[in-house]
Structures are given as structure tokens and as C-alpha cells.
Structure 1
């Protein structure tokens, strides 16, 4: 009678191989230890064990790749994910742009200029300039009007002092960088060239309702790059110059206060802005 070799305990061997599948799958084939000693193995046993190792390795790789019991795109993560792993639900979520609030504090005891304030609250021109001699309260009036207009521009208010009457006026490139940072652009992502900053700035404001306030402009040159192009944005500018060459701007001239609020408009309300 032919003597049969005892059948190995396959469930136990399968359990051992499955628990070791992670380490086996991660090691090269030549580094996997032989499951049976050289003297005791047979071709039948060796083939079965080799197939089991290969199968467990494939299962391990499928689990690690998320194709068999592992996390799939769109799965909800419970608890805090591991460091360096971003939940798939957040990976493609649109970034929320910040809402800048850069207006200086409003003057609580502001009085006078009732006619001017009423006109500023009703005007719909994209660019409005207030120009006159120093000491007539242009900045205080503009800041107060900007606070009154905040509800019309819920996406934010940007403010910059251009220092046009000082020895060293601010460069438009610097102001653009200041605005882009306030709009959520990372410092390392700021464009280097002025033209690229203008494009990025106007792109961010294209579909938003933002009020831009520019104080103390020397002339039209530093103002032009800072004027938003969005149809729902507005820009308020103060200057000692009338800024007659600023395209699409409506100009208000303020005389010195003489006890009676007064307003002189270069063109009557309702007419188109005066050409450049």
C-alpha cells in the first residue's frame, strides 16, 4: 500500500500567511522566507504555499490601494485623519475668499456735509473722486461715506493711503500686494510684475461687490491700476488734484466750510461722467 503524506494544516497556515500578508507584500520575492524546510517540502506543498502567498500579496496590495475594503474617494472620515492625509471631501472644495474690512474707524461726531453725503449714498458711478485744497475734510468725509456704503458692498472694503502729498508716495505695486494679501493670496504666490498683479487683482474682484477707498492720490497714474473692473465694485478717491484725466470718474469739488453745507458738481446729476 502506498503511503500518503499527511495533509498540512491549511487553515492554520492560511491564517498565518494572511496575518503576515502586509510584510510579505512589501518585501521582494527573493526575500520571502521559504515556508517549509528544504528537506520536508514537496512540489505539491510548495506550489500551494506559493499560490497562497501570491494571493495574499494581491489582497494586501488591493487593500492598500483602496480597491478591496480600504477607503475609497468620497468616503467620510471619522475623527481626525492622519497627519498629511486630506479627506477626499475637502480636496476639491472651492476655497472661500476672505472678506477684507480695511476701513479706518468712523468719526462718531461727524457733522455737516449733509448734501454731499446724500449724493454719495445715491451715486452709482464706478469711480468717484473728491478733490480740493487741504483742510476741507476730504479724508474724514470719504471714510464716513464709505462706512455708510458698507451694506452695498458685503464682499469687503479695501483702503489704502497713497501718500501723494508726501516726499515718497506709495508705489501702486506695493498697494496691489497689500490688497492681494487681504483678498487671500498667499505671500509666496504674489505675482512679481505690476501688470500681473493688476490682472490677479481685477480677476478676484470681477464677480464681487467690493468698495475700494484710495486716500491722498497725487495724480491719475497711481490710481489707474487700483481701480477695480467689476461692474458691482466702486472706487472712492481723494486728492488735491481734480484728476481730470481719470477715465470714467465723476468728480466732486468741496469748498471750504463756511457754516453752510454746499456742493459744487462739475456736471448735473443724471448725466454721464465727464470724458477724460
Structure 2
């Protein structure tokens, strides 16, 4: 456990890691109730070990508490991962400036830091962490670039020395096999190059039922024809992967929220979006993740944070669209596709008019790149289906208030209301620890009166910041008045009532009537009592209740079969005209 925790902190070196992420890596989906205390114990032991082995000349790394997590503070020269990242950035700058000699030297130095896979021998949850996967991808990218430069200048043995160890760890990676075959052939090892092709061809056909791709076929043909990228009077080959043409790399995300409170849902969504990677040898369609939750639950905020967390994986950029309050149907989706195609570099004159044709062009472009597409506030499946990416390397993350189970291959992650602890933590981050701790218990009262709705907590916090002379107790008194509570929950562009209005306006008449009658009559109910209130059969009442649950307007059933409306939803439905 201590090794895994240290490995996780090292992946995030000089950045804070939340305890929720630590718990997921150490224990998976079901951490023990005492995981906070266990993590504290492991951190204490690691601190003692780091102090014991401190270098008197350079000092040693230290683990510090930061926000609600921990951070490993370490100099770049003491951690090979940080050194690798630094050298990779410098080599990229050298490539852009055209200094190929310096680029080759920096790439060679960065690749010499490697002796195996990232965190080899550790638990799968840590080795499959998005940052570990991304680090492995960067190694492959650097090795491919180095081999391209080495082969085109006739230094075949140098390319072989770099590629062979990596190919052993990635036996199905066609992009690594192709340049290795060309390098082997250039070094006079045509038999070994063709044997390498045969082994991969056999594995792809037997294990996956697919044939080698165009890149590998081109390399095989080059070997058979005796064509090498350099030497023998042959010009540079087209078959060795180089940096390729400069692509448009958009980054369209709105600003991240600095005081975001950690959610358990963050890490599983991030893993789903970044683990499926054809470039590291696994096959499968582009990942799709869907965040679903009631109005004001923080879906948009979490989507932006997840997208920012995966920026090292989707190196070709991030596309973003918010379709809140947009009309349903295909016209809006067609307009989004038109903008996406322009951003990805397609000339306006080449963009087709039809939705199907635009979707096809969009998928073709994404199939060749590593792009994350984020679409916020989706209302209907027809809005998102044409935006599903093609190929294996890009991904889609979207949010919706209602689960859209008809979206092919999507992993649906429900986003519940905050716990009291999360709500209090958010309020403290906004108003400050001193102000909150000066009035013990008031933050918990505010959390309860806001129904643990993240949007409501944020509004209260911002109102308190805007009025430093207000006490938390004064805010509590204002919220206690149920007739005025929703009027208190507005600040600038943030308004709980308007968010709920938009959601309720989308309900079909039977569901809207059921909501109105049930909120007027009781706070919690069973299917039987709901049937009596609605004047219908239990089967019909169950259908209506399931519809309200799907719309995130009702929670349950609990162990006794009872359903309950979220506090602010019930209050709003009762006072709505």
C-alpha cells in the first residue's frame, strides 16, 4: 500500500492528490470506511522513510498536506519522470526551431532514463492510471521520433536499440513494429524484419480477427522491395512515422473551477476516457462517458475538470459545445459539427451541407487524432449520436439531466447530490476556514437548508463573500423562511429556481401532474400511497415514479420501498405557479 501510494504521488509530483483518488487506486470501488485514517498512517510512514534516507547534499522529497490531499514535493533531478517530461518538452522546442541535432541529443537522453514499463510490478490500478498510461505513450512517441531521425540519416542500429525493448513490452503495437522493420532491413537484417511482421500478423489474425493496417503493410512492402529510407541512393522513405503535418490543436474548454470539491466519480470517468488506447496495444472503440444528474449537481463543473485532467492524453486538443436551452433536433447538431470541422482545420468551402456527411467527415478527422470532445447539457439522444467519434484514439464526454441509455457504448455515471461533508468543504473553500470555523455548526445548517445541492451551496458561498459583514447565522436565518428560500438562492448568473424551471418545463404532462400532486401531499411515499394520491393503479403509479426518478426529480426506493423528493425540488414544485 505504501509503495502504491508513493507511486501515485510520484505520478502527480509537485501537485496535490485528493484522498478520494488515493482510495480508488489503493482499494478500488469499495474502500474501507477508515480509508482516511489508513491513508494518514501510510503518509506518516512514507515521511519517516524519506527522512531516514535523506541525502545531506541534495535533501530529499517531502510529502505535504495540501487542500484535502497530499503532495510529493521533489526536484526534477531526483525523479526520472520529471526529468523525462522536461527533456521531452525541450526536444519538442528544438523540433519546432529546426535544430535537429539538439533534438536527437535530447531524445536520446530522455529515452536512456527508461528501463522498463511505467511502475512495472505495481498494482494494475496504478499501472493503468491515466498519468502512467500517458507517460508510456510519451515514451513511445519519443522513440518513434528518434527512430525516424536515426533511420532517415542512416543510423539504423541506433533506431533498433531504442525500438526493440519497447516492442517487447507492446507486442501488438503496429506503429512500433513498422519503423523497427524498416530499421532492421536498413541494417541488413531483412529476414528478422519479415519474421517480425509474420509474428504480429499471426497474432492480430488469431487473437483479434483483424488484418495488419496500411502502415505495417507498407513497411512489409518496403522490406520486400529492398527500399530503405537512407543509403543505397534511395531517398527518405514515406513509410517511417514522422511528426506528420502540423495539425490544428484546439483547446476550447471554459475556465476550470478553482474551488472544486473532489468527487468519487472523477477518477473512474477519467480512467474510462484514458485507458482505452490503441497506441499502447489495446483495441476497442473510442470511449464515451456520460455524466447524469439533477440540475445544479455540478455536471458541467466536473466535466471540465475531467477534461482538463486528461489533457496530457488527448494531445491533439479538446472540442467543447454547450447546448443548454438549445432546440432539440438535428439543426443544432449540424451547426456544432460545422464549427468543429472548421476548428479541426477543414476549409469552409469543403464542409458538406448534410448532417450525415458532416458527421462522416468529423469522424474521419478524429480517427486520425487524439481529441477529447465535451458536449454539455444534452437533452436528447438525437443531439449527441452524430457527435460520436470514429476510430480508436479520440473520446466523447457529455452531460445530461436524464440518462440517455440509447447512446451506443456510453458509460453512464450518475452524479448525486453532495454529502454533508462535501457541501461543508465547498462552503469553506469559498468563504474561508476562519469565517466558517468562527461559527461552529452553521456550515452544516446551510448545507441542510440547501438540500446538499452543489449549485445552492456555491450561490450561498458567493453571496457571503460579496457581503463580508454578514455572518453565517444571518444566512441561516434567511434560508429558514421556506417562502423566500429559492429567492435567496440566486447570485449573478446563478439561479437555482431558473435551473429547476427549465428542467420541469421539459416534463411531459403526466409526469408534471404526478410531481405536483405528490409534492403537495407528502414528503416521502411508497408506490401504494402514490397510487392513492394519483388516483391510478399501482402499476401506473410505478411507471410515473420511475419517470420522475429518471429525470433526477425523485430518489429511491430505500430499503423500506419509500421514495423522497430532494429538498429544493419539493419546495420549488410546491411554490411553482
After TM superposition, is the score higher than 0.5? yes
The separation in 1 between residues aligned to 2:245 and 2:310, in whole angstroms, is 27
3-state DSSP of counterpart to 1:236: strand
For 2:408, the equivalent position in structure 1 comes to 247
The separation in 1 between residues aligned to 2:394 and 2:248, in whole angstroms, is 16
Which has the greater radius of gyration? 1
CA-CA distance at 1:97 after TM superposition? 2.2
Is 2:334 aligned against 1:168? no
3-state DSSP of counterpart to 1:100: coil
For 1:144, the equivalent position in structure 2 comes to 305
Say how many residue pairs are matched: 166
Contact 2:372 2:396 in 1 (8 A): yes
Is 2:282 aligned against 1:121? no
Contact 1:102 1:159 in 2 (8 A): yes
Contact 1:208 1:230 in 2 (8 A): no
Q: Deviations over 1:207-248 (max 9, x none)?
A: 211100010001111101001012111110100110011110
Instruction: Note the 1:81-100 alignment, pairs <5 A.
Output: 96-100=246-250
For 1:103, the equivalent position in structure 2 comes to 253
3-state DSSP of counterpart to 2:312: helix
For 2:343, the equivalent position in structure 1 comes to 182
The separation in 2 between residues aligned to 1:220 and 1:174, in whole angstroms, is 16
RMSD between aligned alpha carbons? Answer: 1.9
Q: Deviations over 1:129-162 (max 9, x none)?
A: 0111101000001101110011010011100112
Contact 2:269 2:413 in 1 (8 A): no
The separation in 2 between residues aligned to 1:162 and 1:176, in whole angstroms, is 13
Q: Deviations over 1:142-196 (max 9, x none)?
A: 1011100110100111001122xx2635611000001001000112221111111
Residues 187 and 167 (structure 1 numbering): CA distance in 2 closer, same or farther, change over 3 Å?
A: closer
The separation in 2 between residues aligned to 1:200 and 1:96, in whole angstroms, is 19
The separation in 1 between residues aligned to 2:346 and 2:271, in whole angstroms, is 33
Normalised to the residue count of structure 2, the TM-score between the two structures is: 0.28
3-state DSSP of counterpart to 1:152: coil
Is 2:361 aligned against 1:212? no
Structure with more relative contact order (C-alpha pairs < 8 Å, separation 6 or more): 1
For 2:355, the equivalent position in structure 1 comes to 194
For 2:389, the equivalent position in structure 1 comes to 228
5+ long unaligned stretches in structure 1: 1-93, 262-276
Instruction: Pick the structure with more helix per residue.
Output: 2
3-state DSSP of counterpart to 1:198: helix
